[in-house]
Amino acid sequence: MIRKIFTTAMLIPLLCFFNPVQSQGFLKRDNKKIVKGNGEEILLRGIGIGGWMLQEPYMLGISATNQKDIRKKIEALIGTAYTDTFYAAWRKNFVQKRDIDSLAKWGFNSIRLVMHYNLFTLPIEKEPVAGKQTWLTEGFALVDSVLAWCAANHIYIILDLHAAPGGQGKDAAISDYDASLPSLWESELNKAKTVALWRKLAERYKNAEWIGGYDLINEPNWDFENSGNQNGCNCNQNKPLTDLYKRLIDTIRQVDPNHLIIIEGNCWGNNYNGMQSLFSYDANLAVSFHKYWSYNNIGSIQGMLNIRNTYNVPIWCGESGENSNVWFTEAIKLFESNNIGWSWWTLKKVRSLSGTMSIEPDDNYTRLLNYWKNGGTKPDTAFTRNTLMNLAEKVKLENCRINYPVLDAMFRQVQTTETRRYAANVLPGTLFVTDFDYGRNGYAYWDTDTANYNVSTGTYSAWNSGYAYRNDAVDIETCSDKTKTNGYNVGWTAAGEWLKYTVTIAQEGSYNVLVRHAGNGSKLKLQLDGIEVSEILTLPSTGGWQVWKTDTIKNVLLPAGEHALKIYIVQAGSNLNYLEFIFDKPSAGVNFKILTAETDGTGKKIIVSLNKPLLTNAFSITDWTININNQQANIDGIRSINSRQILIELNSKILYGDVVKLSYHGQLIQSTDSTLLQAMDNLNVINNLPVMYTVPAKIEAENYYQQSGLTAETCSEGGQDMGYTNAGDYLDYLIIVKKTATYSVQFR
């Protein structure tokens, strides 16, 4: 491809969108706030447009060092001309008007536009005259087109120099750094080119009010002081970075007094040691930070809050993401509750769960990736060209998979704990277990592994161990069941986990529920609107994690209408594909019976769940027997707590580990269809009491009742310990003290 160029003497024509309709003026600093031109505070809710002008290898699934390496691999197979054709198609299709229209509809009010300098100017080693700047039209044209679409949608653009001349850090993938050439910090020519580029951008867009700001250098990561950390995390002065920022600010202000200027610290944007003079260097400046994989507590952003409060300067999270939906909701709620705007990473990635959109290439692309990673037979030119041009077509929004659970977590779930239907889930019919509601952990589902906090803990944690289908904290994998599947199943279940589904029940009555499962065997039950509607079903081993069999829960009574159905895991061990609800008969044809019994949190009450609603509240204590460890317990009282549950209050207390049995023989309790409650002998009562220790005792730190802020880790003495402590963290343990005395406590 022939690249159009123009010299520094050429004038850039003014564009019509520099005077956009209904503009509210330039974004600007107002003490600690970012405000619109009319003085109204704005909380930026943005998305990073990564992968368009700058390809990071992981975003394409490619084993490569940086974009230069990606291009080298492609050129080796199809040559320079065809490679240019691919990149032209990629950049034409990756961001279009439809993308920006969709972002506005979803709730974004800004984008962070990732720029590679080499679309605007030549690398220093290719300049015909050293020290002179050759300008290229493509990068400016791309910005112009996006600016027009953003202005029409009232979306601000933050221009982000993601790949500066020479590369701004040792993390090669994010800046296209080539270690064989001088970096930004090792070359005055690269610094001069960076300054010239920002001057050119400022000249061109100085009147563009929908340009929200200039993010001068993305994630500098360089050891300026031989501190021992190549990414500059240990640097205490950061003088070269500070000096270049001042030079850039001075140059921009020569031509553009209007736009907000944004700076980033060393160590991927977060180390501001020695850079304090910048905070007051310009009256229209904001300070950015990036946040990944850390706890979402106030401590994780306290350093930036201190900068804001001490120097009276606005702060902005310019990049975050790459985690679970749980983490996304937590982080955005943290930012917004502290009046911090944010920009998420990123718009599109190949086969992505965590991005807003996923590019879905065909199997030929997988073959190409395997060749680049593992070698083998070299793909021919026609195959490679067709595969890459197909990929360039797949990047269009209409060909991408939109990750609606991600968008829901970023916007709706930040504001509410209400859940929302994910699939139609009309019964009778098939309910795929992976199609649980949109919503937060603890409301749409409960799972024990929810996010990756490895920056805080030092240990990576998978939130979806199967890395498939959804980005929620539920473990999902591809499913090979031949009978019926949506392609995925829930796996890696743990006792106490559950999944909630908004369902529409078309017909009241008794249903047989076919449970499609695979694995080592487990136990589960069903709840409707928070009340048990099934007995506990024991699922046997099937002989393999993808060896699928069906077991049935019979006589599940369901009322018509919209309801909340839960699948509750009593005992782990099975993968779950689907539940098929088959209407059997009217409810009147089913006996009135006890489904389950379980302790409450106090140990002095037992909740008994029934399959039909109660007609009367007539209860006789003598009709019920409770045995605790084969000893009959005294019952203080019995009453209904709703139409489907009875509460039995005991004189004695059930403890953790106690074996509790329930029996019923009576003639008083009737359902609304006038059937009598069936007798029950020695029903196992589920003991929900937490672990309690009778002192004196040895208590392992990891066997807590509840905790906040700590994380279990492997202990050098065997087992686990609780680590990563911070002020305010705590561990709670429940104990029983049988003898009043003075006890000594030894800590290991």
Q: What is the DSSP string of 230-266?
A: TTSTT-S--HHHHHHHHHHHHHHHHH-SSSEEEEEBH
pLDDT at site 138: 98
DSSP code of residue 300: G
* Residues 200, 255: Cα–Cα separation, whole Å: 9
Burial letters 162-185, b for 16+ CB under 10 A, else e? bbbbbbbbbbbbbbbbbeeebbbb
Pairing status of strand 348-350 against strand 357-359: parallel
CB 594 within 8 A of CB 678: yes
- For residues 216 and 263, the answer to whether their CB atoms sit within 8 Å is yes
Per domain, the residue ranges of the chain are: 95-291, 417-589, 594-684, 692-737
**Helix or strand holding residue 204 (H, E):** helix 188-205
> Pick from 359, 368, 370, 372: which is nearest to 388 by CA?
368
Task: Give residue 137's identity as a one-letter amino acid code.
Answer: T
Euclidean distance between CA atoms 333 and 291, whole angstroms: 14
**CA neighbours within 13 Å on the CB side: how many for 444?**
28
pTM of the model: 0.92
Burial class of residue 697 in the structure, from the number of CB atoms within 10 Å of its CB (0-12 exposed, 13-18 middle, 19+ buried): exposed
**Strand, helix or coil at 75?**
helix
Architecture of the CATH domain 95-291: Alpha-Beta Barrel (3.20)
**No. of helices (H) and no. of strands (E), the chain:** 15, 42
* Residue pair 495/569 in contact by the 8 Å Cβ criterion: yes
Helix axes 363-374, 381-394, angle to 10 degrees: 120
Fold topology of 417-589: Jelly Rolls (2.60.120)
Residues in the chain where the model's pLDDT stays below 70: 1-23
DSSP 145: H
Which amino acid appears at position 89 of this protein? A
For helices 188-205 and 137-153, the axis angle rounded to 10 degrees is 40
Q: In this structure, are residues 157 and 212 in contact, taking their beta carbons and an 8 Å threshold?
A: yes
Give residue 20's pLDDT.
44
| Contact predicate 44/342, CB 8 Å | yes
Which pLDDT value is given to residue 694? 86
CATH of 594-684, one of 2.60.40.1220, 3.30.1950.10, 3.40.50.970, 1.10.10.60: 2.60.40.1220
Whether the link from the prior residue into 346 is cis, omega within 30° of 0, is: yes
Reported as a single tens digit per residue, the pLDDT across 695-710 is 898 999 988 888 887 7
Helix axes 67-94, 381-394, angle to 10 degrees: 50
Q: What is the pLDDT of residue 22?
A: 56
Beta-carbon neighbour count of residue 138 at 10 Å? 18
